[in-house]
């Protein structure tokens, strides 16, 4: 799906986003979001910040910047920032072309962003995260994926897929990890959560990568 179409989709669904994902947010996502942000410090990027669902879990001593290309999603996250009293800078930016300097962030988190980016955008987005991550930093990617060895759960996800595609412009078959090496990243950790339907990838810039 072209970038402008995805942005328009999110501008349109921004007011419904939190309601649409409310059951899975409390049933499944919150515990995972908490774990991802635990122990992160320094300058942290929340890429594809959306309505700010990660905000309750930002470490108190980190300087967090949230980016999103949808003004309507950013407006929602600004409201959540105010409601929660969280310190976070919010910027409208495309993750494929950010204006951050090289080696800027100590940690980068992207929750449910790469399943929205199509296959041709996976490598450019990873390259941009690699460029802006410090050599000592880490990149944390959380996405839905078809479970590897659970046919019944895979079938349930396949039934759910057209709805998710239509509403969120997202897909469960993104092969993000295939592009890590080409982006100058190496995998540190790969964990399957929620009985295999959520995949957490932690990566870092390859030693010696430019």
Cβ at position 6, least distance to ligand SAM in Å: 5
6 touching ligand SAM, by CB under 6 A: yes
> Which residues within the stretch 123-182 sit at the binding site for ligand SAM (CB under 6 A)?
168, 170
> From residue 100 to residue 119, what is the string marking binding to ligand SAM with x (rule CB under 6 A)?
-----------xxx--xx--
73 part of the interface to ligand SAM, by CB under 6 A = yes
Ramachandran angles phi, psi of 18, nearest 5°: -65, -35
- Phi/psi zone of residue 209: left (φ > 0), alpha (ψ -120 to 50 degrees), beta? beta
Please tell me whether residue 48 binds ligand SAM under the rule CB under 6 A. yes
How far is Cα of residue 63 from the mean position of the Cα atoms in its chain? 18
Q: Which of 64, 86, 95, 139 binds ligand SAM (CB under 6 A)?
A: 95
Report the 3 state secondary structure along 171-210: CCCCCHHHHCHHHCEEEEEEEEECCCCEEEEEEEECCCCC
Minimum Å distance from CB 120 to ligand SAM?
Answer: 12
Binding of residue 69 to ligand SAM (CB under 6 A) = yes
- Which spans of this chain sit near ligand SAM (rule: CB under 6 A)? 3, 6, 10, 48-50, 53-54, 67-70, 73, 94-96, 111-113, 116-117, 168, 170
């Amino acid at each position: 799906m072209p970038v402008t179409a995805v942005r328009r989709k999110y501008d349109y669904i921004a007011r419904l986003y939190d309601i649409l994902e409310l059951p899975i947010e409390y049933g499944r996502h919150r515990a995972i979001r908490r774990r991802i942000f635990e122990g992160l410090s320094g300058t942290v990027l929340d890429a594809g910040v959306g309505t700010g669902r990660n905000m309750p879990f930002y470490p108190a001593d980190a300087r967090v910047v949230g980016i999103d290309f949808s003004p309507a999603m950013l407006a929602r996250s600004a409201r959540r920032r105010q409601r929660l009293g969280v310190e976070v800078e919010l910027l409208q930016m495309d993750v494929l072309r950010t204006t951050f300097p090289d080696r800027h962030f100590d940690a980068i988190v992207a929750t449910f962003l790469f399943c929205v980016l199509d296959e041709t955008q996976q490598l450019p987005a990873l390259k941009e995260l690699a460029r802006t991550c410090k050599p000592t930093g880490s990149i944390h990617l959380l996405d839905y994926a078809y479970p590897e060895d659970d046919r019944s759960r895979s079938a349930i996800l396949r039934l759910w897929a057209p709805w998710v595609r239509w509403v969120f412009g997202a897909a469960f078959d993104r092969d993000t990890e295939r592009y890590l090496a080409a982006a100058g990243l190496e995998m540190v950790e790969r964990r399957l959560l929620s009985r295999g339907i959520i995949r957490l990838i932690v990566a870092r810039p390859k030693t010696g990568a430019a």
